[in-house]
Amino acid sequence: MRPLIGTSWKMHFTATQAGAYLAALRPLVAEIADRDLFVLPPFAAIFVARDRLAGSNVAWGAQDVHPEDWGAHTGDVSAPMLADLDCRYVEVGHSERRRDHGETPDLIAAKVGAVLRWGMTPILCVGEAHHRGPVAALADVLPDLERCLAGVSADALHRIVIAYEPVWAIGEHAPAAAPTEIRAVPVGIHAWLRGHAPGGETVRVIYGGSVDETVAPLVLGQPGVDGLFVGRRALDPAAFATIARVPILPAAAPLETTIS
């Protein structure tokens, strides 16, 4: 499975700043051919990504979407609007959206459906709030995952990307999870996906949470980890380019994870 490495800029960069960032990034990653790359700018800069990245090896997308295609929803942005900007990926269910906007799994499921309906790839974020080990993490993550994917048909499951982002590992001073913890949860997610629908084995599960140049090569080779979702460190295009090209180290043997 080709690794998927990308970043969400969150609420950083104006359209002008985005143009400068992408002009710096594009030549730094132009030779990378063995993995898929993406950036998720704020809504106001997506058109800049489309214009600056067209024809490159870096895809672009959005950080959120409204579940309805059209209507009286002031300030919201719909899936057809994003598809018209040639977005390939749309992030849904990030912990900050859940915290700040009260997003529920049912709402997130509707957003996943909207993204799929318009031919784009949802990046569905899941992760436990508290650091209590992988068994407790899976007990939190899997029921949430099931609700967020409730409307996805078996033949569409392969079009999803799962971003495992433990909430306690997100933030400026938060530590990344240990590699052994990181591998346990994606392995468990993969096992759940395989058991729930044909095509589940092809779903990419990427890790996000305090990823930097040191953490990236330790994580990317872990069993079950199919890529990286980089946060604040990727606000420096040179740092993101370094993370994007990290070697994939030989992985340890997969963990046996009990799924209930």
230 beta partners: 7
Contact predicate 8/91, CB 8 Å: yes
What is the model's pLDDT at position 236? 98
Q: Given 94, 103, 128, 190, which residue is catalytic? A: 94
Q: What is the pLDDT of residue 260?
A: 36
Nearest to 39 by CA among 66, 13, 69: 13
Catalytic member of 91, 103, 128, 165: 165
- Per CATH, the number for 4-244 is 3.20.20.70
pTM score of the predicted model = 0.94
- pLDDT tens digits along 20-56: 999 999 999 999 999 999 999 999 999 999 999 999 9
Domain assignments of the chain as residue spans, ordered by start: 4-244
CA distances from 113 to 29, 61, 64, 159 (A): 32, 16, 13, 11
The stretch 218-225 carries a mean pLDDT of 90
Active site residue 66: no
Which of 53-57, 172-176, 182-186 is the most confident on average? 53-57
What integer best gives the mean pLDDT of the chain? 92
Give mean pLDDT, residues 4-25: 98
Question: What are the φ/ψ torsions at residue 161 (nearest 5 degrees)?
Answer: -115, 135
Q: What is residue 240's predicted lDDT score, i.e. its pLDDT?
A: 98
Residue 165 a catalytic site member:
yes
